[in-house]
Structure 1
């Protein structure tokens, strides 16, 4: 490592500051009912896309980052991402007369986030090693999820003063932009390929396998947030909307806490970390199916938070083991885009599989049954994958 202790400290500060706003588009979730009331002629899909368009924007840009990260410097792209979030977040304050405008602005915000998430992961993999890398991967998840939680807590009361006022929260991106501008050193322009005998930039075969497994896990995971409200309020009738809100808050808080102990989790699970995460995902899904009260739902939410925290942070650890430095950026970008892809298409795939085994897609419990089946398959595949990596990869480097 060529960095001084002071420069690495500045880099850590900048990475974690940017991570705080990497999931800022989640504040749109508190506005859905108010926006629907403000635009009575808009379809439910159009209203949902105020938030969903952000996921699509993030997926598109994260996919492009697999190419852009091999051709352009990271600092300018991070600054572009922050500016996009700022523009997409603040524009609705002045222009909010059309649901289409809100959808487009949501896409712009998501696109900005699509720059940030893979680039922060690549910066961590390139600049830190050993336990320090594991700590930064965990903290990156903690600050990202924790930042989203704090902003959501702020957005709720603000929304009561008028849904447009929620967009003022995006002003928090300005100090983050200044920190990134001042604290991130200008990196060298990457080369598509290295000298003869060197490493080629791009996504290796192992990277593609890791991404495919990530898609399967996220297809199963997304059933939890998408169907929890339907199960709790409508099908099982064991709680109300506020109960569901508490449950989802538990998921984000626990995921943030998991990031703090990621090095300890890696020390125990090593290359089986994704298998461990999938076990928690399966346990959470099964517990929902058999829940008869909100206490069981809250326990399931805690288990789901452990899954989310392990998988999001653990992906960086696996990529750091299977890739060369030249492959960190594109592989992390593809991984993040595939995770978004799994979340976006989860309802379609879950419903299709549920129909195949004869389940009623109108009953939320059946979605959880299907998700549990996917998790069970993924656990087996992840164990096989972890065993293969353990036998074929060289010993892990320790921090110098």
Structure 2
């Protein structure tokens, strides 16, 4: 009976992982949308692929609190319904850029809901190493599916930007699976998360970990903005080459998700610090060697470090938060990581000039400096060990 329940919950979790990265699936169609609406503001058109991050951040906060009052199934159903509506209605309603922006906002709201439900559900039904492994599996599946949707979306976009929205048909499949397999219980009804701990220590550790996750996204997201510029500056390749190199960031997430159990055993309480060491090595590679394969390896190292951190931090937070608090904590985590992604370009716009007049060189040096500072904080404070319960 227990095995059957675990299997049904796993199917529900996998259904949610298929759609968590759909909010940026329209990126391949931005140029064609601009061509279809030549008088539209280019910034508005570009926001179709990015405004979902803002909505996702808001939804993460909202659903973090709502999930304390509703069941996992109810929250997942609302999130998936928003994703389906925002992604599929543009197939029929697409007379203006404003309409497309509105639907992108709806998609972002749905995405924010799912990214809050998913880790809360995983933490509620798994314990110990199994929970950590599940978080790793979630990230691997999320990025694996994201790569599939990027390829499918690019193919559909080559036919028509309207057809690109057909990718969102997968939300209907996920919605059906969620209705069948996501448990209809509240976080407080069934949870494997820890009981309430000492409040001062508890909240200090939670806030510290969430702030670190914010900087993880700031550091990793800059790759999306700088890769094409980097390859162009060193005459390595064009936009298509940049896309190939950036795939190594996604691949790193899949590898990290699959091997997280091995990483935990090998690195123990220094796993988080090792993630930032990986980012330092990747950024150093970009500074010292200028070839496609060194760029791909650098992207892989930076992606690996970021993924290890974003798998480990939710696991550590689940050790610190009670069943009723954890959804709010994870809502804050999802919101801050979304903010980190959106804030990344601005952060390096102002920090890179502090280290070099060359913006690319300054960016990678700033990545190294921030990572080293976080490594020192982690090692000196022994933060990961303090957030890990004794066996």
User: Shared topology, TM-score over 0.5?
Assistant: yes
CA RMSD of aligned residues (A): 2.3
1:367 corresponds to: 363
Deviations 1:176-226 (A, max 9, x none): 1000001122103749xxxxx96799x833211111111122222222111
Query: Equivalent residues in 2 for 1:234-383 (5 A)?
Result: 235-357=233-355, 359=357, 363-383=359-379
- Which of 381, 390, 398 is the aligned partner of 2:385? 390
Query: SS of the residue aligned with 2:40?
Result: coil
> Quick check: 2:217–2:306 contact (8 Å CA) kept in 1?
no
Query: SS of the residue aligned with 2:19?
Result: coil
- Which of 143, 158, 161 is the aligned partner of 2:159? 161
CA distance in 1 between counterparts of 2:370 and 2:332 reads 22
> Quick check: 2:124–2:187 contact (8 Å CA) kept in 1?
no
**Distance change (3 Å), C-alpha of 1:384 and 1:97:** farther
**Distance change (3 Å), C-alpha of 1:6 and 1:249:** same
> Quick check: 2:245–2:296 contact (8 Å CA) kept in 1?
yes
> Quick check: 1:137–1:317 contact (8 Å CA) kept in 2?
yes
Query: Equivalent residues in 2 for 1:1-400 (5 A)?
Result: 4-188=2-186, 190=188, 204-233=203-232, 235-357=233-355, 359=357, 363-385=359-381, 387-390=382-385, 394-396=389-391
CA distance in 1 between counterparts of 2:165 and 2:353 reads 40
Q: Mark the runs of 5 or more structure 2 residues left unpaired by the alignment.
A: 190-194
> Quick check: 2:34–2:40 contact (8 Å CA) kept in 1?
yes
> Quick check: 2:205–2:387 contact (8 Å CA) kept in 1?
no
> Quick check: 1:89–1:105 contact (8 Å CA) kept in 2?
yes
Deviations 1:324-358 (A, max 9, x none): 33332111111111111111111112112234456
Tell me how many residue pairs correspond in the alignment: 385
CA distance in 1 between counterparts of 2:144 and 2:260 reads 15
**Distance change (3 Å), C-alpha of 1:150 and 1:245:** same
> Quick check: 1:280–1:307 contact (8 Å CA) kept in 2?
yes
> Quick check: 2:55–2:105 contact (8 Å CA) kept in 1?
yes
2:192 corresponds to: none
Moved more, 12-21 or 347-356: 347-356
> Quick check: 1:199–1:326 contact (8 Å CA) kept in 2?
no
Deviations 1:136-187 (A, max 9, x none): 1111111111111111111111111111101011111111100000112210
> Quick check: 2:28–2:154 contact (8 Å CA) kept in 1?
yes
Offset at residue 383 of structure 1 (A): 2.3
Offset at residue 7 of structure 1 (A): 0.8
Query: SS of the residue aligned with 1:325?
Result: coil
TM-score, normalising length from structure 1? 0.90
CA distance in 1 between counterparts of 2:368 and 2:35 reads 36
TM-score, normalising length from structure 2? 0.92
Deviations 1:305-340 (A, max 9, x none): 212321221122211222233332111111111111
